[in-house]
Amino acid sequence: MTKPSTRLHVATDLAGGLSIGLDPSQAHYLKAVLRLGSGDPVALFNGRDGEWLGRIDGVGKGWCSVRLQERLRPQMEEGDLWLAFAPIKRARIDFLVEKATELGISELRPVYTERTIVERVNLDRLRANAVEAAEQTERLTVPALREPEPLVRLLASWPAERRLLLCDESGTSPPIAEALRTAPPGPWAVLTGPEGGFTETELDALKKLPFVCAVSLGPRVLRADTAALAALAAFQALVGDWQAKRQR
């Protein structure tokens, strides 16, 4: 059976025979952008019930319903990897969330550091970016997106068993490949700073924490968004889920 080229994330439960109403923007996208109509196939996922093949059984201005036929893939968990990141300016934070989703992050945690300039994080927009990236990249889940919080509070409630990979731009930490060669098993997170980097005080405090593993990302100065995604790619390649075969 041919796999539909269109994949959409929905909130509702999915099961065979159900007719699922899409939201107005999804309906518009299918009808006006992709020019799909009754009988055309669409794949749906909700992060819980796997991926389903459905067919459009009704479409109009601002609405579209999809009848579910069969399950294409059972639900699978994404790897457990968090990204804690200082919010950065608009285009770059959108990009960061998109790429982190493609690179398999399970939870996004915006965190205010001393040099963070951005004061407000538009969680709705970031969530929409994460959903779109999950649709594109054939994930079966959308990363969780937490409320922003100050770095101090993040660290105060940090789960002791989760290691935190600190992207240290000072150049004094060991290269990421060297540091991860002896990486202990268990859950991890990656932490990246804002445009101006972490302060020395922050770096000193972070490096004293038992769960922190500080690493360098090479000889060049990387922008904040580049550092985040480069660290994620290197982590996945070295000790993450890039060892696994493609899901489909």
Helix (H) or strand (E) holding 70: strand 63-73
Shortest Cβ distance from residue 75 to its own copies (Å)?
Answer: 15
* Closer Cβ to its own copies, 157 or 243, answer by number: 243
CB atoms < 10 A from the CB of 120, how many? Answer: 7
Give the torsion sign (CA, 117, 122, 125, 129). Answer: positive
Helix (H) or strand (E) holding 85: strand 81-85
Shortest Cβ distance from residue 57 to its own copies (Å)?
Answer: 28
* Closer Cβ to its own copies, 47 or 148, answer by number: 47
* Closer Cβ to its own copies, 27 or 224, answer by number: 224
* Closer Cβ to its own copies, 32 or 221, answer by number: 221
- Interface residues with its own copies (CB under 8 A) are 95, 99, 102-104, 136-139, 170-171, 175-178, 216-223, 226, 229-234, 236-238, 240-247
Looking only at the bridges linking them, the beta strands covering 144-145 and 7-9 are unpaired
Shortest Cβ distance from residue 176 to its own copies (Å)?
Answer: 5
Greatest distance between any 2 Cα atoms in the chain: 61
Shortest Cβ distance from residue 235 to its own copies (Å)?
Answer: 9
- Whether the CB-CB separation of 70 and 44 falls below 8 Å is answered with no
Query: Which residue in this structure is represented by tokens 């991890």?
Result: 188
